[in-house]
Amino acid sequence: MRRPKTLGLLVAVLLGASVLAACGSGDTVSGGKVKVVFWHGQNDAAKKTIDGLIADFNRTHPNIEVDGNLGGVLADQMTTKVTAALAAGSYPDVAYIFGSDLANIARSPKVLDLTDTVHANGFGWDDFWPAEQQAASVDGRVRGMPALVDDLGIVYNKKLFDAAGIGYPNDSWSWDDFRTAARKLTDAGSGTFGTGWPGAGAEDTVWRLWPMLWQQGGDILNPDHSATAFDSPQGRTALSLVHDMAAVDKSVFVDSDPSSQRMNQLFNDGKMGMLVAGPWALPDIVDAKIDYGVTGLPGFGGNHTTISGADDWVLFDNGSARSKATIEFITWLTDPAQDIRWTQGVDNLPIRRASLKEPGYQDFVKRVAGIQVFVDNLPGARARPAVAAYPKVSAAVGQALVGSLLGQTDPATALHKAAQDGDTALKGP
């Protein structure tokens, strides 16, 4: 669920034509090699790491040449770029797609069905975390290969807890414990908040609510995904808690920045006691020299289920030769030996259980304090439903959350309206 910064529109326009031209069917074979066009959408350390992996693959696979590039945009704009490329009939062989967008992309007949590939003897599909398998599957078919996995937990500032005389959060905390601590940590005079919540109404706002629903036995959609299920006692309890913390206790910094950077910066400046975040937040917290700890999410009734925003490599059909070569490359890239290099290079969580046994894993968890907590939570993490209407359902819930965070709407009323809008989206074309 990590959201990198986007490239400017001008850069996307300048690169777009050349990138699309580079992935035409005329480049299927280059110098006797099958060419694979790989839009990875990564920058900075991630780009450096993946460029190194691509170079190693090309060196050890003489019949395949992987052409790795941004695709003209970074990952958070990739779905829009790929959709346009599919419409134009000139698209890559593989691209990085957010898990919440997979079902929409998978409606294209050009997206490869990987079900037989991942269930073949020796592939090791069960080695991937359950949330990754869920996020990569649409209507019972595997339509993406896991590219990134994460989950939510609590990162807390030890200094602020010590000053307030509060015991550190732990894996037995309830949401009532969390609310009480957030209230005690808040100090309007010094500009210190107990916690924060993204308030732009986008998916970063919404997905944090779902664990609170699941922990009570509720769900987002009904079993056959034909209607919403969150307008329930469990949903009202969850949204009311968010409303009360933000609008009544005033212990929540509501971040209207779409990237949630202001909220994260407050924590890194020592002005926030607890941050609901994933492993992506830790490197910046380390750089800020915050004395921090990490624990799992608070729970309801002893249930501490968390959520994973797993993303995927999505493969496209550019003919049998390129499809076969692309599957070979992505299978190699997601092997534990390569996964641990990806993990170490960008401080991601490992996408496979076997990667935890690879040389270098223990050095990784020692270098990034607290990241082991996120790894430990992966076996029980859940993914959002992989349905094409999910973005519209999320948008409706996002509006309910923003209104509740700002104290502008009654939670029960807002949730009911969101469910009506979500039902309309699920019944739409």
What is the per-residue pLDDT across 278-312, written as a single tens digit (0 to 9) for each?
A: 999 999 999 999 999 999 999 999 999 999 999 99
Mean pLDDT of 65-87: 94
Q: 38 lies in a domain? A: yes
pLDDT of 249 = 98
Q: What type of residue sits at position 232?
A: S
Same domain, 373 and 420: no
Task: Report the DSSP pairing between strands 94-97 and 311-315.
Answer: antiparallel
DSSP state of 169: P
Q: Which of 239, 295, 159, 195 is nearest to 417 (CA)?
A: 239
pLDDT at 71: 87
Encode pLDDT of 243-272 as tens digits: 999 999 999 999 999 989 999 999 999 999
Give the pLDDT mean for 331-340.
Answer: 98
Going by pLDDT thresholds of 50, 70 and 90, the confidence category of residue 19 is very low
Residue 29: the pLDDT is 58
4 located within any domain? no
Q: Which tokens in the block code for residue 138? A: 């649409």
Residue 350 resides in a domain = yes
Nearest alpha-carbon partner for 146 in 202, 217, 97: 97
- Residue 374 resides in a domain: yes
Q: Could you list the residue range(s) of the whole structural domain that residue 345 is in?
A: 9-150+309-380
Q: Do 301 and 313 fall within a single domain? A: no
Same domain, yes or no: 216 and 332: no
Give yes or no for a contact between 185 and 380, defined as CB atoms under 8 angstroms apart: no
Q: How many residues make up the chain in this entry?
A: 429
Indicate whether 290 and 354 sit together in one domain: no
Both 243 and 390 in a single domain?
yes
Please tell me the predicted confidence (pLDDT) of residue 32. Answer: 85
Same domain, 25 and 143: yes
pLDDT of residue 58: 98
Q: Which of 361, 380, 399 delimits the end of a domain?
A: 380
Percent with pLDDT over 70 in the chain: 93
| pLDDT on residue 20 | 42
In a domain, 19, yes or no: yes
d(C-alpha 346, C-alpha 49), whole Å: 7
Helix axes 411-427, 390-405, angle to 10 degrees: 170
The amino acid that residue 410 corresponds to is D
Q: Residue 9: its pLDDT value, please?
A: 31
* 265 plus 325 within the same structural domain: no
Q: Cα separation of 128 and 145, whole Å? A: 10
H helices present in 186-269, as ranges:
203-206, 210-214, 233-243, 261-268
Helix, strand, coil share of the chain (percent; to 5): 50, 15, 35
Sign of the torsion formed by the C-alpha atoms of 11, 16, 17 and 19: positive
- Reference 176, options 204, 215, 207; nearest CA is 215
**Do 145 and 163 share a domain, yes or no?**
no
Q: Are residues 176 and 324 in the same domain?
A: no
Is 2 part of any domain? no
pTM for the model:
0.92
If asked whether residues 55 and 180 sit together in one domain, one would say: no
Residue 327, domain CATH: 3.40.190.10
Q: How far is CA 237 from CA 135, 177, 230, 402, 417, in A?
A: 26, 15, 11, 16, 16
Domain count, the chain: 2
Same domain? 258 vs 219: yes
Rounded average pLDDT over 361-385: 96
Query: What is the mean pLDDT of the segment spanning 193-221?
Result: 98
So what's the pLDDT on residue 248? 98
